[in-house]
Amino acid sequence: MKKKMWKAMVIIALLIGFQVIGTVIGYASDHLSNDEAKPVWWWDKDEEPSEEEAPPLRGGPEEDQRQQQPLVLQELQELYPEIAFLHGPTTGNKVALTFDDGPDPRYTPGVLEVLEEYNVPATFFLMGVRAEAQPELARQIVEEGHVIGNHTFWHPNLVTEGEISTLVNEVQKTEDTLAEIVGYRTTMFRPPYGFLYPELVEELGNLNYSVIAWSVDSLDWEPLLTSEQIAQNVLENIHPGAIVLMHDGAEATGDRTQTIEALREIIPTLQEQGMEFVTVPELLNIPYQRE
């Protein structure tokens, strides 16, 4: 009899304990503010990156993806000249620096420092998840006179994943995220790895986006390139109206220090040659934000 009473008391105690825990969890869930809420990362729901890390690229490192298939952006630009752009007018002296995959707390501040030093505006194509993780850094980009574009939320390979719904979800989630942080909705989109197919371009046109590619690739995404090699890739291929591809963001094992150093050679050299640095919207004469 005593043994049965003892078991009953243990069961009652456990039930009371579970009820208390449930109440505490429910209270915490209902009362946490948005600032206190923590994002859930797709790659590891039990851990999130520190303030000095950046969420990874869903499609994988740039160097891996670029070697798998050729770029077809030039063909897409020929098919959709009102939507896709590789460069601006070639009759003037204006060029545009662009940076992908940020904001990255390891390298974006260094890029911004060099741009400020030379009083050069640029265009940053931001990942939604990284902007969400570094909102102050995203705001700093805009506050220092640069403009931003949409570079998807998780940086998937849109051609490999294939579904138009993936594109729409990635674009709209990023647009909402960036608008909440910087206060405007961008009109520009750059596809991860430069990969698109015609139906995706058409859908981007339906969403009132301009697809911004590039005509000069610094190749700063290739491992082991020195700052001198990166600068050489740009300076040897530069032309009036060029849109230059560079990166202020990297994978966990990536390093954009050489990109930052290359800018210290690229910018003054082109300025001495009479080139004027402008943002992509100014180069293409398109709006950078929606009305």
Check if 247 is active-site: yes
Catalytic member of 100, 101, 220, 248: 100
Q: At what angle do helices 108-117 and 135-143 cross, to 10 degrees?
A: 10
Cα-Cα-Cα-Cα torsion 102, 63, 256, 122, nearest 10 degrees, comes to -50
148 near 182, Cβ under 8 Å? Answer: yes
- Which residue in 87, 151, 247, 248 is the catalytic one? 247
How many other CB atoms are there within 10 angstroms of residue 65's CB atom? 20
Kindly list the catalytic residues: 100, 247
